[in-house]
Structure 1
Amino acid sequence: MGQRTILVSLLLLFNYLLVAETETANQDFIALKALMDSWKDVPLSWSGSDPCDDGWDGIKCTNSHVTSIVLPSMGLTGHLSGDIGLLSELDTLDLSYNKGLTGSLPQEIGNLKLSNLFLVGCSFIGPIPDNIGSLQQLVFLSLNSNRFSGKIPASIGNLSKLTWLDLTDNQLEGPIPVSSGGAPGLDKLLNAKHFHLGMNKLSGTIPPQLFSSEMTLIHVLLDRNQLTGSIPSTLGLVQSLEVVRFDSNSLTGPVPLNINNLTKVSELYLSNNKLMGPLPNLSGIKSLGYLDMSNNSFDPSEFPPWLTTLGSLTTLKMEGTQLTGQIPVSLFSLTNLQTVVLKHNDLNGTLDIGTGYGMKLHRIELQDNKIDSLKQHDEVSSIKIILVNNPICQETGTTESYCFDLPFNITYAAPPNICLPVTCSSDQILSPKCKCAYPFMGILTFRTLSFLDWEKDAGLEKSLMDEFKEDHLPVDSVSLSNLTMNQFQYLELSLQVFPSGQDYFNRTEISSISCLLSNLTKHPFYFIAYTYGHYEDPMESSKSSHIAFITGAAVGGSVVLVLLLLAGIYAFHQKKRAEKAIAKSNPFGRWVSKDSECMTPQLKGIKQFSFVEIQKYTRNFSQDNDIGSGGYGKVYRGTLPDRQLVAIKRAQKDSKQGRIEFKAELELLSRVHHKNLVSLVGFCFERGEQMLVYEYVPNGTLHDTITGKSGIRLDWIRRLKVALGAARGLAYLHEHANPPIIHRDIKPNNILLDEHLNAKVADFGLSKPMIDCEKDHVTTQVKGTLGYLDPEYYTSQQLTEKSDVYSFGVVMLELITARKPIERGKYIVKVVRNSIDRTKDLYGLHEFLDPVIINLGSTLKGMEKFIDLSLMCLEDSSADRPTMNEVVKELENLLHSAGFNATAESSTAASTSSSYDEITTGSSQHLYSNESFDSSVVPLQQKIKAK
């Protein structure tokens, strides 16, 4: 790229000097030259003096005037020059998916004759210029997914031909503009089909004037704003509406009665507002497929009978709407019904699905109601029913499947990959047709949820391939994966488009594919592309040769200089390639020193990922995939090509301490395998990055659960199971790993819960093998987390397996109290010891127990023995503590006495990691000796800050 850029730049300079006239209109040429000056990485084809005849990528002309600039996904960086206003005949401007384009839109854009303006997924900032209302021919206006701020210009109301208005996902604020006193407003857009204004900061009321019977709107999307007031009754006048999204605002008042007149609406979202009054009667909307009225303040009411008449209904969500009474069995007989979410209500009686339920029904969520019985039918085993926190699940020892709360996993049935094993280079991906290539990738985002019905059709892959073939694009195949619901309740799919007959796409092909995917009249999604870093432009070298031939002797002297530069560049790249090859064969070579051969990790059976692959799996480390952070760095959710979900722990760059932990986890997790330990999938060590790839754990940390952050509530039996699972994982490390391993940082943040709420011990960054290549594996610097540290280890710096036992004892107390180990200067271990009265029920510790255990109605059988066991683990002398194996046996006995067969329990593997706090000290003072903990840890805190 560098050598060709130098050559083209020199040749272009001579062209400007030699060519006196151009067939392209001079004003248009000046405008394009200004754009070249304000952008980096323009297409290499932009090298002649006549953009219309020389085939500049993305440029189309009519009668020597530029009429179209279409450059999506070209990796452009810079700003949009005001000289764009010189293109007097410009009809279409599409610069979408160029994240490097920033700055504000120039006022001169209002001087154009645009009918199509697409600036999707860039980084433009500042206000939308008011004179955008001067574009009288504008039909499509898409400025979504930028960082525009300020108010929506009222002048947009002047665009009488506008059919598509998309300002979604910006930072726009203020009221929705409507006409007043001769000034325009959005209510004047009578030809508009789409108002997409969601995910902004719009405030004030929804003006009644915004809607009228003259409008032809299909979509009104105002979700995720700060709108207040009531839903205007004028909405019911827009008979053409098909999708209405008012969710996640602060709307109040009753739902207008005439909303029932919107007979074409298929999706209605009113959730997460403050709507009041009676539940609206929607019996007239027979086309309604997706209904969500959750989390409002409607009047308490019996289950509405009109719901059972909606034959098109696929998804019903009425969470937290104060529904009472019994659910009629006729609801479940709706032919198209798939998902029912009615949790957090007062529904009661017997749940009866019946025998005539719809064949598509697969999930019923009824958590936190008052249902006391379930009428069982053998035929409904395929339907996931969740009755957590209902009376039916509050009996001691209840283990029925419907008493566990599992996350809702949306799936997309993509065609299976039937390829034989093929080895691709590290940055290539295997296509569905078994070819290694560099695909063009991005995200399809569906603003409505009708996509859920597409699974019954031929498939989205086939639909897209048909379009690519129709446009004669060189696409071999497409792959869709990782169907997820993002934080804005929009469905997302990862898309990979593979080239045909070559490894790469060229710039023109990428631009054409992007345009097709952004065809607003065909698709129910919008497309956000990733930057494509691989281009193959076979014509460019011949084009450069042609230019060199024309310029002749004028460039003769420059060629010598260019050749010398190219020779130097070639030598430099050859050196870099050699270094890269060496680094790839031994990515840890830089860690090895002359004095220490033990710095190179010894790895067994884990995969090395490239940085490009990790970037791809995490959607370029997107914020939506950020699932946690700590002292080590951040954790991202990712999706591998085989659709396996993973958790990727990314160290802070250039972290020396992180390097040690990175090495420790790599070495340890590559050789330990147990159902109660996280599983390491692989790692990435290049570009200064240190990343660990684990299996993904859906239910997060034990800390998030016992503090209520995850929304999962554990009864007494489940807490015993969690304790047993973690204990088994530690026992394996201590007694079956070779060599034995001391975890050194056991705490609820480092115990994860899988989809079945089984415990997995995680985060081995501070772990210590009992036989190591270091000088002394027993005496070691004190590391761990304050509150869980073994006092004997702290004072003597002698690390043993019993140090983990002590930390586990603290976790046991935290499991039953849900209190931090150190609160308000008091240490929970000492507080419990001093409060125990063994003559009383539960040792008199009622006030310390987690209220959730009590509220779930569990009989706390074995609680006293559990407390005794935890205090045995917390003995000051390690010799008086049990081994983890003994802890496991005791917990199994406790579960057995509670009526549960612990030895038969099974679980699945998962992993992630959390934060840690590290302490280094040489003090011999007892760590938790004082009632007021602050006085004893001040020196430690000072040392932490010093580090």
Structure 2
Amino acid sequence: MDQRIKAFLLVVLFQVSSAAAQTDPQDAAALNSFKRLWKNTPPNWNNPDPCNGNWVGITCNSNFRVISITLSSMGLEGQLSGDIGSLSELQTLDLSYNKGLTGSLPEAIGSLMKLSNLILLGCSFSGPIPDAIGSLKQLVFLSLNSNSFSGEIPPSIGNLSKLYWLDLADNKLTGTIPVSSGGTPGLDMLIHTKHFHFGKNQLKGTIPSRLFNPNMVLIHVLLDGNQLTGSIPSTLGLVKTLEVVRLDRNSLTGTIPSNLNNLTNVQELHLSNNQLTGPMPNLTGMNVLNYLDLSNNSFDPSDIPQWFSTLQGLTTLAMEGTHLQGEITSAVFSIPQLQSVNLKNNQINGTLDIGAKYSGQLQLIDLQNNLISNVLEGRGYSNSLFLQGNPFCDSSTGPSTNYCTLSQQSIPTYSTRPKNCLPPSCPSGQMSNPNCKCAFPYNGTLYFRAPSFSDLSNESLYISLESSLMNSFKTAQLPVDSVSLSNPRKDSDNYFDLDLEVFPSGTERFNELGILNIGFVLSNQTFKPPKGFGPFFFIGSPYGAFADLSSRSNNSVSIGVIIGAAIGGFLLVSALLCAGYYAIRQKRRADSVEQNKPFSSWDPNSSGSTPQLKGARWFTFDELKKCTNSFSEANAIGSGGYGKVYRGTLSTGQLVAIKRAQRGSMQGNIEFKTEIELLSRVHHKNLVSLVGFCFERDEQMLVYEYVPNGTLKESLSGKSGIRLDWTRRLRVALGSARGLAYLHEHANPPIIHRDIKSTNILLDDRLNAKVSDFGLSKLMGDNEKDHVTTQVKGTMGYLDPEYYMSQQLTEKSDVYSFGVVMLELITARKPIERGKYIVREVKMAIDKTKDLYGLHEFLDPAIGLGTTLKGFEKFVDLAMSCVEESGADRPMMSEVVKEIENIMQLAGLNPNADSASTSASYGGTGGGHPRHPYNDDLFDYSGGYPAYKVEPH
């Protein structure tokens, strides 16, 4: 190129860069040093100015100081230089999943006084962790796992008083666990830290008794796979917040502390493969324990502990090689959620009787190499039972059974299925996603360090995990179309591993920004797996679908960059002019909208007066189009005769469900108006919230909070995959009753719902009940305190017969419908089935002289038969009082609430506690894919607008 042209372009570039603010020179120098040291940096790092050039993975503040570096899964290669210490405003450093990053962590990292997140997991860093890391007083999240760090854990980490997450697992760390002494800091000082993840290292010495104290809020202590010796300190039993304890695969000795059963919040306890001795521990009182593994220790010989059968939450019982003896009773196998029992290599004798009431989830019983001489057969159990190495298999009857044949256990398989479509044949390198679109997925592996389940064949587990992943990505507004899970397995560390593929939305490949944002959601634990999966980490693979990696790193300023910068300067001025024009235009448009209210075109002759709004937001059509990706099929989550329902993510990050009527169809205006009016004026945690609505361009759309776990009906029928035991059904009943009581007695004016049924009760992510669908509801005016004369509407089976006969609607009509729902809760039957009415059938069958009022044949098996249904009879009494023929004989909803609270207290439950941490731990034994709350049967409604099923009478 002519030198005069080059000189001219350089002058233009200088003038443009001088006119605009530039990256702080110190920060720019540090980033440019990384660019020179690293291979495979993003293409736009060739721009000379990181902040103005919007370098991928670099975030700057208004003063053009670098505050964040997030570059996960970029395929970076090289070392982290000491220049990192120059970035004095840096708050987040995430270089995860870059296996090509090697070398040691520079001491200069201790200069980053504002750093709150240091995430380097899944790289290849080595050498000691610098002691200077203890200077990072603002550090909240420290994740250095899955590298090759060596040396000792720096005691200075004890100075990090704000630390929440500490993960040093899967390295080559040696030495002892540091605790404070004589002015030297230690990990015992981390009283606000919730996560100690130190597994899979080479730590030695004892677990210091000073490591634990009652002021700590730890929930995870993971020390598995080290070389620790000595006894388990009794101070561990002082940390009552603990939920997961893994001390397995060490060389621990001595007895298990007797106060370990103080840890009543522990759900997973792994002490296997040590050298523990003494008496078998008594774990009575650890009532939420799901997973117990004490295998391969040298306890004193003991009979099968009676406390086994008191742990009603157990899914997995592993006591291999623990010197158990005596006869095992059927009570062990009747634990309701039990999935796996491993008692092999013991001295269990006598007759094996699994019993008739064994857990419906029980998949494996392994009793190999014991002294069992007889087996009571014909009890219906047909899953895996291993008895090789018992006298029974040497007898004349033993060899004829499958129990004595060492058969290969079936390996669980799962792969996300296509969503009602036929996968196409994709070009090389691309894969068909669950929505049958070809794309380049982002791959990696999810590792769950302490799952609470052992049955990997339960499909509802994977569906729940897929849903949670998608919710996290959508909440973060990431360009993700779908996710796919496959190849579930348990590895040699007893971790649960799954392959994950994440597919892009609206295109066949991710850009760099999309990949690093997905990586960050997974690396910094923004994604929270469903309850039961336990602590996790993710290792992502380099994304190979960008442009050619060999051309991505260019360390010189090319003529093309100079030309681009010069053109950019011109465009900058043009953009400013356009921005000013756009702002004026938007202001005028906003003024026009304000003058033209959304209901100015409402037809009062056909639909009544304009809705009276109290807080519901009006959305434009364009806003809802944008947040649903142009109403894409990928976001469609339900349908009906009126149209479809879409999942959307608002600009605030809120996940919503958008009901969209068929375009041009203006049927159901009264119901549309009613729901907006009612839901905009009522606010209660047990009522579905209306976020807003759209009424323009001949469109009718309602925007609700997104309720992820479907309808009560779907859970009772098994379609959702969520299992509701007696406790959870009581909580659902209480939540629904509280929502109704609010409508009847606290809303102003009072509201009668008029269509209470199991499809109109939704369950959120914690299984809290939310009453929905107010299109048939009626306001009680001052002159209508006793009743409203109105045309009869509702759903057959739930309809109050007094209302049906008199057309006099009162709040007692809702009470009747709620009584039917209560009966549905205990029977899981439809209100009218094969011509039989549930109210009449139950009323005729009740025998108060018998246990459970003699209603055994009516009870839903999933309710937890075999356990004590405390308060069941009072619950039935309350339900029958709600369905009395005369409304005057029925209780008020506030009285119903009070009685359910009393029943729960009788059952030893706190009526004011949340239903669950998350819903995922309540997966049932089957049921297939969970159906969404916004699906077909919820919208079968003769008025034409979504959400209400009205039976003509």
TM-score of the superposition, structure 2-length normalised?
0.55
CA distance in 2, matches of 1:226, 1:405: 34
1:329 partnered with 2:330: yes
Shift, 1:407, TM fit: 4.7
The AA in structure 2 aligned to 1:55 is N
Is 1:528 aligned with 2:539?
Answer: yes
Please name the residue that 1:445 is paired with.
447
Contact 1:223/1:245 (8 A) holds in 2: yes
Going from structure 1 to structure 2, the CA distance change for 1:455 and 1:259 (only over 3 Å counts) comes to farther
- Residue 52 of structure 2: aligned partner: 53
CA contact (8 A) 1:507 1:537 kept: no
The correspondence of residues 353-502 of structure 1 with structure 2, limited to 5 A, is 353-381=354-382, 383-395=383-395, 398-409=399-410, 411=412, 414-417=415-418, 419-420=421-422, 422-450=424-452, 455-456=459-460, 458-502=463-507
Distance in 2 between residues matched to 1:210 and 1:553, nearest whole Å: 58
Deviations 1:326-374 (A, max 9, x none): 1111111110101000000000111111111111111100110111111
CA contact (8 A) 1:22 1:49 kept: no
Q: Which moved more, 1:406-415 or 1:37-46?
A: 406-415
Equivalent AA in structure 1 for residue 42 of structure 2? P
Distance 2:249 2:11 in 1: 55
Q: 1:410 to 1:271 in 2, by over 3 A?
A: farther
Letter in 1 for 2:37: S
Whether contact under 8 Å (1:22, 1:50) holds in the other structure is no
What one-letter code is carried by the residue in structure 2 that aligns with 1:64? F
- Cα distance in 1 for partners of 2:499, 2:106 equals 33
Question: Are 1:159 and 2:160 matched, yes or no?
Answer: yes
Q: Distance in 2 between matches of 1:318 and 1:296?
A: 9
CA distance in 1 between counterparts of 2:561 and 2:26 reads 26
Distance 1:16 1:289 in 2: 66
Q: Deviations over 1:212-235 (max 9, x none)?
A: 001110000000000000000000
Please list the CA deviations of residues 917-937 of structure 1 after superposition, one character each: whole Å capped at 9, or x if unmatched: xxxxxxxxxxxxxxxxxxxxx
After superposition, the C-alpha distances for 1:51-95 in whole angstroms (9 at most, x for unaligned) are 222211111111211000000000100000100000010000000
Deviation at 1:123, TM superposition (A): 0.2
Shift of 1:426: 3.2
Alpha-carbon distance, 1:139 to partner: 0.3
Distance 1:504 1:421, change over 3 A: closer
In 1, Cα distance between equivalents of 2:119 and 2:568: 44
Alignment CA distance shift 1:206-1:233 (3 Å): same
Match of 2:170 in 1: 169
Instruction: Quote the offset at 1:428 in angstroms.
Output: 2.0
Aligned equivalents of 2:248 and 2:136: distance in 1? 32
Report SS of the residue matched to 1:483. Answer: strand
Separation of aligned partners in 2, 1:130 and 1:249 = 27
Map Cα deviations across residues 829-881 of structure 1 (whole Å, 9 max, x no partner): xxxxxxxxxxxxxxxxxxxxxxxxxxxxxxxxxxxxxxxxxxxxxxxxxxxxx
> Against the structure 1 CA distance between its residues 107 and 549, is the aligned structure 2 distance closer, same or farther, given a 3 Å change threshold?
closer
CA distance change for structure 1 residues 309 and 34 in 2, over 3 Å: closer, same or farther? same
Which residue does 1:123 correspond to in 2? 124
What is the rounded CA distance, in whole Å, between the counterparts of 1:56 and 1:531 in structure 2?
19
Residue correspondence of structure 1 range 898-909 to structure 2 within 5 A: none
Contact 2:175–2:203 (CA<8 Å) still a contact in 1? yes
Question: Do the aligned partners of residues 410 and 446 (structure 1) sit closer, same or farther apart at CA in structure 2, a change above 3 Å counting?
Answer: farther
Deviations 1:674-731 (A, max 9, x none): xxxxxxxxxxxxxxxxxxxxxxxxxxxxxxxxxxxxxxxxxxxxxxxxxxxxxxxxxx
Q: Paired residue for 1:136?
A: 137
Q: Distance in 1 between matches of 2:559 and 2:214?
A: 59
Structure 2 Cα separation of the partners of residues 83 and 22 of structure 1: 23
Contact 1:236 1:259 in 2 (8 A): yes
> Number of paired residues?
541
State how far apart, in whole Å, the 1-side matches of 2:423 and 2:261 are: 56
The structure whose RCO (Cα within 8 Å, separation 6+) is larger is: 2
- Superposed, 1:518-667 pairs within 5 Å as 518-520=523-525, 522-523=528-529, 524-535=535-546, 547-551=562-566
Looking at structure 1, the residues matched to 440 and 507 of structure 2 have their Cα atoms a distance apart, in angstroms, of 9
Question: How much is the aligned-residue C-alpha RMSD, in angstroms?
Answer: 2.7
Percent of aligned positions that are identical: 56
2:13 & 2:84 partners in 1: Cα distance? 23
Whether the 8 Å contact between 1:16 and 1:49 is mirrored in structure 2 is no
Matches within 5 A, 1:499-514: 499-514=504-519
Q: In 1, distance between residues paired with 2:12 and 2:300?
A: 78
Q: Which residue of 1 aligns with 2:22?
A: 23
The match for 2:31 is 32
**Can you give the 5+ residue segments of structure 2 that lack an aligned partner in the other structure?**
1-8, 530-534, 570-953
Judged with a 3 Å threshold, the aligned counterparts in structure 2 of structure 1 residues 47 and 546 are, in CA distance, closer, same or farther, namely closer
- Which residue of the partner structure matches residue 43 of structure 1? 42
- Partners of 1:106 and 1:379 in 2: how far apart? 64
Distance in structure 1 (CA, Å) of the matches to 2:10 and 2:395: 81
Question: 2:292·2:318 contact (CA, 8 Å) conserved in 1?
Answer: yes
What amino acid does structure 2 have at the position aligned with 1:428? Q
Q: CA deviation at 1:406?
A: 3.7
**AA matched with 1:528:** I
Give CA-to-partner distance per residue, 1:226-263, whole Å, 9 cap, x none. Answer: 00000000000001000000000000000000001000
Change in 2 beyond 3 A, CA 1:544/1:353: farther
Matches of 1:85 and 1:16, distance apart in 2: 29
Comparing 111-120 with 390-399, greater Cα deviation is found at 390-399
Deviation of 1:427 (Å):
2.1
Conserved 8 A contact 1:355-1:377: no
Instruction: Give the drift of 1:18.
Output: 9.4
- Structure 1, gaps ≥5 residues long: 1-10, 555-947
The equivalent of 1:85 in structure 2 is 85
How far apart are residue 436 of structure 1 and its match? Answer: 2.0
Q: Equivalents in 1 of 2:302, 2:170: separation in Å? A: 36
In 2, are the aligned partners of 1:278 and 1:298 still within 8 Å (CA)?
Answer: yes
Give the letter aligned to residue 297 of structure 2: N
Partner of 2:819: none
SS at match of 1:108: helix
Distance 2:292 2:513 in 1: 42
Counterpart CA distance in 1 for 2:487 and 2:270 is: 24
CA distance in 1, matches of 2:559, 2:477: 27
Partner amino acid, structure 2, of 1:373: N
- Are residues 187 and 477 of structure 1, via their aligned partners in 2, closer, same or farther at CA, if it must alter by over 3 Å? same
Q: Secondary structure of 1:329's partner? A: coil
